[in-house]
Amino acid sequence: MSSITRNLEVVDRHIRDEARDVDAVLDLYTDDIVLSIPGRGIELHGKSAIRIMYLRLFGAMGEIELEPLDRFATEDRVVDDMRVRLRITAEGIDNCPLPVGSRAELRLVHHFRMRDGLIAREEVFETWTAL
């Protein structure tokens, strides 16, 4: 299997499973993973910090709908572009620009840096719109 195919498969599993099985998704990261969400002022280092954030984040969302738009890869990068619609159901989305109870649409672009078939850095760019 080529590294590009492997990278696309890893990112597909990450996107598909992150809200359902946080611990399985953490296995797709390198030990020195960095997750950055610059629009909300978040930078996390290590699987433990990311796990805590993911549990809070996905525990504060409902009615999640994903609309894939584009995904492409190189030997060391994957870019995923999608729209996400959701309802904010509780506190837990750090620095969220909308209040609890809001229905929102996000344009969500992930930039993954890959190393040895794992995600070494994840940068998440979000544009929030109230529905």
Domain count, the chain: 1
* Contacts for 115 with CB less than 8 Å, ≥ 6 apart: 30, 76
Q: What are phi and psi of 119, to 5 degrees?
A: -85, 120
| 85-96 pLDDT, tens digit each | 999 999 999 999
Where does residue 88 rank: exposed (0-12), middle (13-18), buried (19+ CB within 10 A)? buried
**pTM of this prediction exceeds 0.75:** yes
The pLDDT assigned to 1 comes to 82
Query: Across the 131 residues of the chain, what is the mean pLDDT of every consecutive 10-residue run?
Result: 95 93 95 98 98 96 97 97 98 97 98 97 98 97
Could you write out the three-class secondary structure of 74-85?
A: CCCEEEEEEEEE
The encoded tokens of residue 21 equal 């099985």
Domain CATH number, residue 70: 3.10.450.50
Domain, as residue range, for 75: 3-130
Strand partners, 114: 119
